[in-house]
Amino acid sequence: MKFSKIEYSRPSIEVYESNFNAALKEFNNAKNFTKQNEILEHLYKQRDEFDTMFQFAKMKYDGDTTNEFYQNEIDYFNKILPQTDKLINNFYQSLVNTQFKDQLEKKWGSHIFNLANNKSKEFDSSIIEELTKENELKSEYTRLIGSINIDYKGNKHNLISIATFLENKNRNTRKEASAAKWNVLSDRQQQLDEIFDNLVKVRHTMATKLGFENYIELGYIRLDRIDYEREQIAIFRKHVVKYFTPIAKKLIDRQKKRLGYDNIYHYDQLFQFNSGNPSPKYHPEEILKRGQKMYADLSEETNVFFKYMMENELLDVINRPGKALGGYCWEISKYRHPYIFASFNGTSSDIKILTHETGHAFQYFCGRDINLAEYRWPSYEAAEIHSMTMEYLTYPWMESFFEEDTEKYLFAHLSSAVSLLLTGCQGDHFQHLIYESPNLSPDERAESWLNMNSIYNPSKIYKDNKYLESGRFWQIILHIYKFPFYFIDYALAKICALQYWQNSKKNKEATWNDYLKLCKAGGTLPFLELVKYGNLQSPFEEECIERIANYIDMFLDNIDDSTF
> Looking at the structure, do residues 45 and 87 belong to the same domain, yes or no?
yes
Query: What does the pLDDT average to over 388-415?
Result: 97
Residue 326 confidence (pLDDT): 80
Assess if residue 324 is contained within a domain. Answer: no
Say whether both 81 and 169 belong to one domain: no
Residue 10 sits in the same domain as residue 84: yes
CA distances (Å), 198 to each of 53, 65, 133, in order?
28, 22, 9
Query: Band of the pLDDT at 132, cuts 50, 70, 90?
Result: very high
Spatial contact of 159 and 259, defined as CB atoms under 8 Å apart: no
The number of domains in the chain is 2
Residue 355 located in a structural domain: no
Let me know whether 103 and 155 are in one domain. no
Split at pLDDT 50, 70, 90, the class of 478 is very high
Judged against a pLDDT cut of 90, whether residue 122 lies above it is answered with yes
Q: Examine residue 301 and state whether it is found in any structural domain, yes or no.
A: no
Averaged over 523-547, what is the pLDDT?
98
Q: Are residues 21 and 60 in the same domain?
A: yes
Residues 225-242 have pLDDT tens digits of: 999 999 999 999 999 999
Kindly state whether residue 105 falls inside one of the protein's structural domains.
yes
**For range 144-170, the mean pLDDT:** 91
Mean pLDDT of 539-544: 98
In this structure, are 42 and 80 located in the same domain?
Answer: yes
Task: Kindly state whether residues 116 and 174 are assigned to the same domain.
Answer: no
Percent of the chain with pLDDT over 90: 94
12 lies in a domain? yes
**Confidence check: pLDDT of 463 > 90:** no
The boundaries of the domain holding residue 169 are: 149-187
Q: Which of 165, 187, 209 is the last residue of a domain?
A: 187
Please check whether residues 115 and 153 belong to one and the same domain: no
Query: Does residue 79 lie within any of the structural domains?
Result: yes
Query: Are residues 105 and 156 part of one domain?
Result: no
* CA-closest candidate to residue 196, choices 251, 138, 249: 138
Domain end marker among 140, 166, 187: 187
Angle at 220 (CA atoms; ends 218, 222), nearest 5 degrees: 70
pLDDT tens-digit series, residues 311-367: 999 999 999 888 988 889 999 999 999 999 999 989 999 999 999 999 999 999 999
Which of 187, 207, 239 terminates a domain? The answer is 187
Structural domain contains residue 322: no
pTM of the predicted structure, to 2 decimals: 0.94
Tell me whether residue 495 is in a domain.
Answer: no
Please tell me whether residues 55 and 161 are part of one structural domain. no
Tell whether 69 and 167 lie within a shared domain: no
Share of the chain above pLDDT 70, in %: 100
pLDDT for the residue 43: 97
Q: What is the DSSP string of 369-396?
A: T-S-HHHHS--HHHHHHHHHHHHHHTGG
Are 7 and 68 members of one domain? yes
pLDDT-based confidence at 427, cuts 50/70/90? very high
- What are 192-203's pLDDT values in tens digits? 999 999 999 999
Query: Quick check: 328 and 55 in contact, CB under 8 A?
Result: no
